[in-house]
Amino acid sequence: MRIAVFAGDGIGPEVTAQAVRVLQALDLPGLELVEGDVGGAAYRKHGHPLPPETLAIARSSEAILFGAVGDFTLDHLERALRPEQAVLGLRKELGLFANLRPARVFAGLEDLSTLRPDVAGRIDLLIVRELNGDVYFGEKGMRTLDDGRRQGWDMMSYAEDEVRRIAHAGFKAAQGRARDGQPGKLCSVDKANVLETSQLWRDVMIEVAKDYPEVALTHMYVDNAAMQLVKDPGAFDVIVTGNLFGDILSDQASMCVGSIGLLASASLAEGSFGLYEPIHGSAPDIAGQGIANPMATILSAAMLLRHSFGLEEQAARIEAAVAGALADGVKGGDLGGSAGTQEIGDAIVARL
Ligand SMILES: NC(=O)C1=CN([C@@H]2O[C@H](COP(=O)(O)OP(=O)(O)OC[C@H]3O[C@@H](n4cnc5c(N)ncnc54)[C@H](O)[C@@H]3O)[C@@H](O)[C@H]2O)C=CC1
Ligand SMILES: CC(C)CC(=O)C(=O)O
Ligand SMILES: [Mg+2]
């Protein structure tokens, strides 16, 4: 079990260290953890946020556990050298096109959601975000116009095949979430009333739906989806959407269930390879204080065991340990508690 560990910047190393402790506590046979530099830390050491050494470690591993990258003190760098390019580069280079971001309310946290407890208690949704295309990877630039004004542009585009493969990922996820004899539901979120990219997206979703007759497909404009996520997030099952909308809606969904410090993610290629990371960033405002909530990263490690190694039982043990710690009141500052990063890690390791 060769797992690359890329901790990154800010709170990245703090939360990743706790997820590593959790993996080590499981006594997994053949576990090999290989560290690599990414982000601002890599730029300072190697002159690049995603150096070839790191990419080589990624390519020779079966999965990647990722912390976070981002360092505002490097904002002056040309874009290709900024820390965020490490995670964008890994996603693109390794074909990690399907980003799964589950959001559910843990028992005992219903009243911590920004929503009414009765609404919050029903939330169990999955955002399937396309991760290799959209405006993040289109041609971009900045120039000065003849009249002296600066103009910036970022090309938003999707090709049919890119939409088709994420559509299949969304429908399969919905298929797998059938409960109580009820098929899963898939809500495709776009802005087809304005964007051609979204019109293509919608056309392809409708075409792929024919392969999954048991899954109920609906469409929603992204502005309405943002509103509905606050009004009644329990009404969603699986949301499939593009890179930009999925990025924004998943941060929003995190507050429906209590905190961004709880939201894990899997970024998957075809096959079993994946990168697993919390959905949050490097949180420079709290870095170095030992107060970041490591649960999102620990839950990402559970997703890693499940998706890349088929270790369902061990994944479920981690999730139960996190749920148990929360139910016993082990909460970080983001959840209104006072437990620090290490203390939360201790509580979860103890429960394993
Ligand atoms: N995948 C990645 O590596 C990502 C990197 N970033 C980068 O991270 C840097 C900071 O970005 P922000 O917009 O501030 O987003 P952020 O997600 O790092 O932080 C947003 C807010 O949430 C809080 N927060 C985040 N994670 C937390 C945790 N585990 N426990 C407690 N509180 C937590 C932070 O303190 C902050 O107030 C930027 O450079 C950004 O580009 C942002 C998102 C994802
Ligand atoms: C560097 C960003 C695109 C990362 C981000 O915000 C995310 O993936 O959620
Ligand atoms: Mg984001």
What is the CATH classification number for the domain harbouring 71? 3.40.718.10
Give the distance (Å) from ligand 1 centre to CA of residue 282: 5
Q: Atom 6, ligand 2: which residue's CA is nearest?
A: 247
Give the distance (Å) from ligand 1 centre to CA of residue 321: 24
Q: What's the mean pLDDT in 53-73?
A: 98
Is there an atom of ligand 2 within 6 Å of 334 CB?
no
Best CA proximity match to 129, nearest among 94, 81, 165: 165
Long-range interactions of 335-338: CB distance < 8 A, separation 24+:
335/109, 335/112, 335/258, 335/259, 335/261, 335/262, 335/293, 336/112
Best CA proximity match to 83, nearest among 120, 29, 43: 43
Best CA proximity match to 122, nearest among 110, 140, 108: 110
- Identify which ligand lies nearest to the alpha carbon of 267: 2
Give me the domain span that covers residue 9: 1-96+270-352
Say how many domains are in the chain: 2
Query: pTM of whole model > 0.90?
Result: yes
243 annotated to a ligand binding site: no
Beta-strand ranges (E) seen in the chain are 2-8, 32-35, 63-68, 98-104, 124-130, 140-144, 150-154, 185-190, 216-221, 238-241, 264-268, 274-278
Domain end, chosen from 208, 243, 268, is at 268
Banded pLDDT at 63 (limits 50, 70, 90): very high
Q: Atom 7, ligand 2: which residue's CA is nearest?
A: 247
Do 345 and 278 reside in the same domain of the chain? Answer: yes
Structure token digits, residue 136: 């993040």
Domain end, chosen from 241, 268, 295, is at 268
Q: Atom 8, ligand 2: which residue's CA is nearest?
A: 247
91 annotated to a ligand binding site: yes
Domain end, chosen from 244, 268, 292, is at 268
Phi, psi angle pair for 117, to nearest 5°: -55, -35
Do 2 and 104 reside in the same domain of the chain? Answer: no
Is it the case that residue 23 has pLDDT exceeding 80?
A: yes
Residue type, 83: P
Do 27 and 63 reside in the same domain of the chain? Answer: yes
Do 39 and 113 reside in the same domain of the chain? Answer: no
Percent of the chain beyond pLDDT 70? 98
Do 192 and 306 reside in the same domain of the chain? Answer: no
328 annotated to a ligand binding site: no
Is there an atom of ligand 1 within 6 Å of 326 CB?
no
Q: Kindly indicate whether the ipTM for this predicted assembly is greater than 0.95, answering yes or no.
A: yes
Do 92 and 103 reside in the same domain of the chain? Answer: no
Do 347 and 287 reside in the same domain of the chain? Answer: yes
Q: What's the mean pLDDT in 32-41?
A: 98
